[in-house]
Amino acid sequence: MPVDSQPQAFPDIAPIRYEGPTTKNMLAFRHYDADALVEGRSMRDHLRFAVSYWHTFRGTGSDPFGAPTMLRPWEQAGDPLAAAIARTNVAFEFMEKLGVGFYCFHDRDVAPEGVTLAESNKNLDAVAAVLKRHQDRSGIQLLWGTANLFSHPRYVHGAATTCNAEVFAFAAAQVKKALEVTQHLGGAGYVFWGGREGYQCLWNTDMKREIDHLARFMQMAVDYAKEIGFMGQFYFEPKPREPTKHQYDFDCAACINFLRTYGLEKHVKMNIETNHATLAGHEMQHELEYAGMQGFLGSIDANTGDTLVGWDTDQFPTSIYLTTQIMYTILKYGGLAPGGVNFDAKVRRESFEPVDLFYAHIGGMDAFARGLKIAAAMRADGAMQRLLEDRYASWSSPLGKKIDSGAETFRSLEAAMLAKGEAQGCGSGRQELFENLLNTYL
């Protein structure tokens, strides 16, 4: 049961409201106006913001060099299940005050791992019952659920790609339960992120066997979802490395190739995270474009990295340039629903006061709202699209149209170019003009 007598965790913070760009109040939105319409749809429905339970309610501020720093006065010592249940009150107070519609969790974020699988399942059921009541009362929904298949020592060699069949079986049991709980909570999706699905050393790794097992595992999840009538969208989240040297879900290209190779492409879309794209040597826009053009754009994990630190630093996104790129591409491919914008981001170790959680999310939400407005203005104006189309104008010529329709061959094209002697009409790429044009909307 939620502890009704529990004092508020954020007593000094009132619900965050839209006050417009000129407000001096740093605990207000300047751009995120949930009901405002952009391209005929509310900002709330475009962005479908979600809070990550793991970072926001379980983040401690510890890093490889130092101890936890976060001040979280609501955290209770003693029985971990009682603490987990009390923590749900904090989570929903935070999310209701922030005004987000969704949250995401791993099974072990919300409920403690027990000594046996049965005990872990029981803990999860107990917390899920409380989460359900909070959801029903507040209207906040589960964007996606997932299972933590990477923290426990049993997953030292991976979960679906482990060398040990019993560990594979345990992971399967854990995902079965996580799917049931996600379904019970009306989750709109389920994410696979392969925490330790990869390798540290190729000499001790049978890569083909491991990747076959990853596909078998996902297929079992798809089959079980069908069996229990779970209609949520499955997502695969790319990340190239960390904690492993190489992860099999490296980037969108690798993930989509994997899904097609194993016949999973109808069941799974991509959940794309900005800092993971960076680690893969791509821009977020590249990953979104690559997934979008092939119909695999599902949901996003919104964060950003640091240009000088080579880790997955999971910072809150504040760059308007970045959010404009993201929202322009998302609008181009028709939006995210049933996916959304999940802040897979954590406050800095040095930002240890509870109020920093609000500043961080407000900043991220405003940055995305601004990116959305700018992207919509660019699309309404059309100048960027026209410049792009100009660059490819030769494909509207009789020759271009015939190539695209399949009417030309190597022989016919050779004949055409032998007759002409040289290709004509190559214009400037105008990169600087495109970039300058973008800046006129920011």
Which residues form the interface with ligand XUL (CB under 6 A)?
Answer: 106, 146, 191, 193, 237, 239, 273, 301, 312, 344
As measured in angstroms, the least distance from the Cβ of 183 to ligand XUL is 18
- Please return the burial class of 366, using the count of CB atoms within 10 Å of its CB with bins 0-12, 13-18 and 19+: buried
Respond yes or no: is residue 282 known to be catalytic: no
- Tell me the two tokens of residue 436: 């300058």
As measured in angstroms, the least distance from the Cβ of 301 to ligand XUL is 5
CA 240/CA 171 separation, integer angstroms: 21
Q: Which does 197 bind (CB under 5 to 8 A by kind): ligand XUL, Co ion, none?
A: none
Q: Which is nearer to ligand XUL, 168 or 192 (CB)?
A: 192
As measured in angstroms, the least distance from the Cβ of 251 to Co ion is 14
As measured in angstroms, the least distance from the Cβ of 344 to Co ion is 4
Respond yes or no: is residue 109 known to be catalytic: yes
User: Residue 195, CB half-sphere, CA atoms under 13 Å: how many?
Assistant: 17
Q: Which is nearer to ligand XUL, 311 or 395 (CB)?
A: 311
Cα R_g (the chain), whole angstroms: 24
Q: Which does 239 bind (CB under 5 to 8 A by kind): Co ion, ligand XUL, none?
A: ligand XUL
**Could you say which of 31, 46, 55, 109 is catalytic?**
109
- Please return the burial class of 350, using the count of CB atoms within 10 Å of its CB with bins 0-12, 13-18 and 19+: exposed
CA 94/CA 358 separation, integer angstroms: 8
With CB under 5 A as the contact rule, the residue among 197, 289, 344, 366 that binds Co ion is 344
Q: Which is nearer to Co ion, 264 or 272 (CB)?
A: 272
Task: State which of positions 273-332 bind Co ion (CB under 5 A).
Answer: 273, 301
Q: Which is nearer to Co ion, 146 or 329 (CB)?
A: 146
Enumerate residues 6+ apart whose C-beta is below 8 A from 223: none
CA 18/CA 28 separation, integer angstroms: 6
**Could you say which of 106, 282, 286, 361 is catalytic?**
106
CA 363/CA 356 separation, integer angstroms: 10
Q: Which is nearer to ligand XUL, 96 or 242 (CB)?
A: 242
Nearest residue to ligand XUL on Cβ basis? 193
Residue type, 204: N
Q: State the DSSP code for 22.
A: T
Residue positions annotated with a catalytic role: 106, 109
- Interaction site with Co ion (CB under 5 A): 273, 301, 344
